[in-house]
């Protein structure tokens, strides 16, 4: 695990990769405030926030000293966030895993709103959108994300998580690191 403290963490990757679960667990371990972009971009019921309003809210988040931001947003805001973050956590699972997890989220969503989603989000249309996003993200964004994490290894704390085991190991390591030094020292405060 890198020695750099975590203050601003960007969690990103393809749909259905478990980013929201990972970000929530990371926030629980570290005490860093979690911001889920789906809740910034969408209102209850899945209504889209006007883009300018989203950009203002996103810019406000980036001005904060500490955060974990989970999600994509849009291309410009994502790359702005990656530049501002001191820690990049890229969830890059095998493609079938993303499809399976979107399907699993759909089934579980029949009984309760998916965690991290705005209340009363449209489950069916959101799931269909995720199914359409997965191959596009894999084709167009995955190569760029992989290059980003390779390029940033020397200047940021970078975690390229390629399996559930890697995700568990990452969270366990952060938990051990956090427990060994205490919150203020861990975050360099």
First to last CA, the chain: 19
Specify the CATH superfamily of domain 8-181.
Answer: P-loop containing nucleotide triphosphate hydrolases (3.40.50.300)
Nearest-10 Cα torsion for 11, 25, 102, 143: 20
What's the whole-number average pLDDT of the chain? 91
- pLDDT value for 34: 98
pLDDT at 11 over 70: yes
DSSP letter, residue 121: -
For 122-161, what is each residue's pLDDT tens digit? 888 889 989 999 999 999 999 999 999 999 999 999 999 9
What is the spatial distance between Cα 188 and Cα 97, in angstroms, rounded to a whole number?
36
- pLDDT value for 3: 55
For 63-80, what is each residue's pLDDT tens digit? 999 999 999 999 999 999
Residue 151 CB-half CA count within 13 A: 8
pLDDT at 2 over 50: no
- pLDDT value for 188: 53
- pLDDT value for 5: 81
Which has the minimum average pLDDT: 10-19, 107-116, 151-160, 176-185? 176-185
Q: Which residue has the higher pLDDT, 87 or 117?
A: 87
Segment 29-35 shows an average pLDDT of 96
Given pLDDT bands bounded at 50, 70 and 90, which one contains residue 87?
A: very high
What is the spatial distance between Cα 147 and Cα 42, in angstroms, rounded to a whole number?
29
Q: Which residue has the higher pLDDT, 110 or 91?
A: 91
Segment 16-28 shows an average pLDDT of 95
What phi and psi, each to the nearest 5 degrees, are found at residue 147?
A: -65, -40
pLDDT at 167 over 70: yes
- pLDDT value for 178: 85
Length of the chain: 189
Give me the residue spans of the domains in the chain. Answer: 8-181
What is the spatial distance between Cα 155 and Cα 157, in angstroms, rounded to a whole number?
7
pLDDT at 1 over 50: no
- pLDDT value for 121: 78
């Amino acid at each position: 695990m890198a020695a750099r403290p975590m203050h601003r963490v960007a969690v990103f990757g393809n749909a259905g990769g478990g980013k929201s679960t990972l970000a929530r667990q990371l926030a629980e371990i570290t005490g860093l405030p979690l911001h889920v972009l789906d809740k910034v971009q969408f209102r209850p019921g899945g209504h889209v926030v006007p883009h300018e309003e989203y950009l203002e809210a996103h810019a406000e988040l980036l001005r904060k000293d500490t955060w974990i931001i989970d999600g994509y947003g849009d291309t410009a805001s994502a790359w702005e966030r990656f530049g501002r973050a001191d820690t990049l956590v890229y969830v890059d699972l095998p493609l079938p895993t993303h499809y399976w997890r979107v399907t699993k989220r759909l089934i579980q969503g029949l009984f309760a709103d998916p965690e991290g989603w705005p209340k009363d989000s449209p489950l069916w249309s959101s799931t269909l959108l995720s199914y359409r996003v997965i191959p596009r993200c894999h084709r167009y964004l995955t190569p760029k994300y992989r290059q980003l994490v390779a390029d940033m290894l020397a200047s940021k704390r970078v975690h390229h998580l390629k399996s559930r085991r890697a995700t568990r190991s990452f969270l366990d390591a952060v938990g051990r690191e956090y427990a060994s030094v205490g919150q203020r020292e861990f975050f360099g405060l």
